Structure 1
Amino acid sequence: MRPIARPARISQIAHANLLVPPEPAQQVTFAKGFGPRSLLTVDTEEEFDWNAPFRADGYGLDHVRAISGFQKFCEGLQVTPVYLVDWPIANDPLARDIIGDAVRAGKAEIGVQLHPWVNPPFSEEVSTHNSYAGNLPPDLEEAKYRKLRDKIEESFGTLPRIYRAGRYGLGPQTTRLLSETGVAIDSSVRANFDYSAFHGPDYSRHPLTPYWTDAGRKLIELPLTTVFWGLLRRQAPALFPLATKYPLLGSALARLGLLERISLTPEGVTAEEALRAVDIAIDDGLPVLVLSFHSPSLQKRHTPYVRDEKDLDALYDWFRAVYGYLHQCGVRPTTVAEIMRAVDA
């Protein structure tokens, strides 16, 4: 049996590179009776054409008004959403009012989401490669991050304690940046996804369970929840890359109930699929199920997932079905603050 890592071994992972899968000894444990819980994260961002090249201007914020209705909807479900805010949102007066009021009332939480292509300072070429903040020169990633983090604290009057890199684009120095600025949780790792073909990170070997990223145990990685479902799900690490490379194979495996990748999001995932994913996550003993979606989906025609009113109704129905099932399974909603309190270091 491999011995548990000693303090000297753990010290070697100080400010670890989050692109590298963690050691087993880094797994977070929670206070007895805490899990399982669910956390709703909202990538709260500007509207842009998902099929067009990235650009630093020309975006919209028309959907921001719809956040008010969504917030009331969440309150009806007794869910506290975490709004992961980027630069255009942090600078929008209406967004500051709607989200800020909910945060001050203790009915929402605020976090940081870095979209480098719309976040000053601007000195890089706007490109797919540079849309991942972790690909930027270290000093530029830091300058953009610190400017955004400070703006969020100024706009919303609270210290953001959770971070998500836009496009899940972590870099080698991101852990240090977060640890130095009081962030307690990162949720940029999209486990079971590989973005390397598009200049992004490879998270295909990362676990779904929360883990410590640093020797001082000050920063937790809380991966987004994506599970494999099907008779061959235990063979997914070997099979799924082939299914991705050959779409017809992937479709056949899913159709036959052999292998399917399911994320806990209403964007591109049906409620029926999500309920199956919840079952797998509970069976696997995940202490926190992390749900996510993009705020522009709260209004039609801003994302590929919500094209009309029917799609918008389906998005809200998805949340009703999923949270109803989570309640039935004994999975209660949680918050960033509650997670931090429950950590047994």
Structure 2
Amino acid sequence: MSMGNLLNPPSARAMARFADDTPRFLLTVDTEEDFDWEQPLTRDSHDTRHVRRLEKFQDFCEGQGVVPVYLVDWPIANSRTAREILREPLMQGRAEIGVQLHPWVNPPFQEEVTQQNSFAGNLPAELEGAKLKALRDAIESNFGIAPLIYRAGRYGLGRNTAKLLTSHGIAIDTSVRPLFDYSSGGGPDYRAHPLAPYWVDEDKTLLELPLTSAFWGMLRRQGAFIYPRLWRAPAMRGVLARLGLLERVPLTPEGVSVEEAIRGIDMALDDGLPMLVLSFHSPSLLPGSTPYVRDDADLDGLYDWWRRILTYLETRGVKPSSVRDVMGSVVR
């Protein structure tokens, strides 16, 4: 088997196809511990108070006919409350579970907690693999289901990640975030990666489902050239967005308005994207846990965002998907 490198953009022939032409969307939840996003990372300063809020979100998704994919990290995988809330929906196919590796809180603890090491792909292959195995096994043991999908915390893929994923039975990666560059902090640069799904290896054993972002505006076709050159002038990015010239729109309720997200959806669909991957962080379900949801009014806004976006996706003919649906409909 020839395994590709997830840090490298794929060739044109690696692009994946689905058995039908119906566009799909996947709702993913970065289900992780609470921690202060503005403080240095630590192994100790976090909790899981927000986990009880997953019950309401799961009920909401079921009411919308959506199967959420909970990408859980070590503290959540070992949370009794998370097991109590999610195990039944998982067993009945009303939710799905996957792996999200936050190396700084995931044993074995052999590395220093640093910015560089917070990207799991930067760790030695043996250590990255040991952390992945420990988490994957904990999820299967505690939730009764072997996870098939992976997201690296902080989108931190590495040169060894693809091989490690397949060796542990992971069939789908959803860590690539096109249009974003994390290299200034020691992470990957995904600006050259495509938005559409693609096969990582020639034998089609590992499928990449990139998170969806899109450029919008009169200059969007030049976005890949213009946007990175404005990283020293973030105010200019704001000016371009307000003028309707260029805006980068990730499909998340965190810091993105409904109107902006709808523009991003329209651009992605107009470009023929077969799969949209939406995401947010589970601590946003508890006001005060993230910068995006500060109070109950913000939480109401988060649910309203999802309600309106899911309604819009339905009007555009975009079908709710799941790991099971993807595995059954992608052409090998």
TM-score by length of 1: 0.95
Q: Secondary structure at the match of 2:71?
A: strand
Paired position in structure 2 for 1:27? 15
The corresponding residue for 1:192 is: 179
The Cα shift of 1:100 comes to 1.1
User: For residue 96 of structure 1, what is the amino acid of its counterpart?
Assistant: R
Amino acid corresponding to residue 298 of structure 1 in structure 2? L
Structure 1, residues 96-122: CA drift from partner, whole Å, max 9, x if none? 111111101210000000000000000
Following superposition, the deviation at residue 21 of structure 1 comes to: 0.6
Work out whether 1:265 is the aligned partner of 2:252: yes
Instruction: State the distance in 1 between where 2:3 and 2:38 align.
Output: 35
Match of 1:16 in 2: 4
Give deviations 1:116-161, integer Å, cap 9, x for gaps. 0000000100011100000111111011011000110111111101
The 5 Å alignment of 1:188-267 reads 188-267=175-254
Structure 1 residue 243: deviation in Å? 2.5
Question: 5+ residue gaps in structure 1?
Answer: 1-10
SS at match of 2:231: helix
Q: CA deviation at 1:310?
A: 1.1
AA paired with 1:57?
Answer: D
RMSD: 0.8
1:173-192 CA-to-partner distances (Å, cap 9, x unmatched) read 11001111211110000111
For residue 121 of structure 1, give the secondary structure of its aligned residue in structure 2: coil
Letter in 1 for 2:19: A
1:21-46 per-residue CA deviation (whole Å, 9 max, x = no partner) reads 1100100011024x201100000000
Matching residue of 2:104: 117
**What amino acid maps onto 2:244 in structure 1?**
G
Distance 1:256 1:243 in 2: 16
Quote how far apart the aligned CAs of 1:249 are.
Answer: 1.6
Q: CA deviation at 1:248?
A: 2.3
Distance 2:3 2:205 in 1: 10
- 1:245 deviates by 2.3
2: CA distance between counterparts of 1:44 and 1:28?
Answer: 27
How many angstroms apart in 2 are the aligned matches of 1:58 and 1:235? 42
5+ unaligned residues in a row in structure 2: which ranges?
none
SS in 1 for 2:27: strand
Report the TM-score when normalising by structure 2: 0.99
Question: Could you give the per-residue CA deviations for residues 273-309 of structure 1, whole angstroms, max 9, x where no partner exists?
Answer: 0011111111011111000000000010101101111
Q: Percent identity, aligned pairs only?
A: 58
Q: 1:111 touches 1:162 (CA, 8 Å); kept in 2? A: yes
Q: Does 1:182 align with 2:169?
A: yes
Cα distance in 2 for residues equivalent to 1:187 and 1:52: 26
* Aligned twin of 1:133: 120
3-state SS, counterpart of residue 245 of structure 1: coil
Q: Secondary structure at the match of 1:276?
A: helix
How many Å apart are 1:271 and its aligned residue?
Answer: 0.6
Instruction: Work out the CA distance in 2 between the residues paired with 1:83 and 1:293.
Output: 10
Write the distance in 2 (CA, Å) between the matches of 1:248 and 1:144. Answer: 39
Amino acid at match of 2:91: R
> How far off is 1:239 after superposition?
0.2
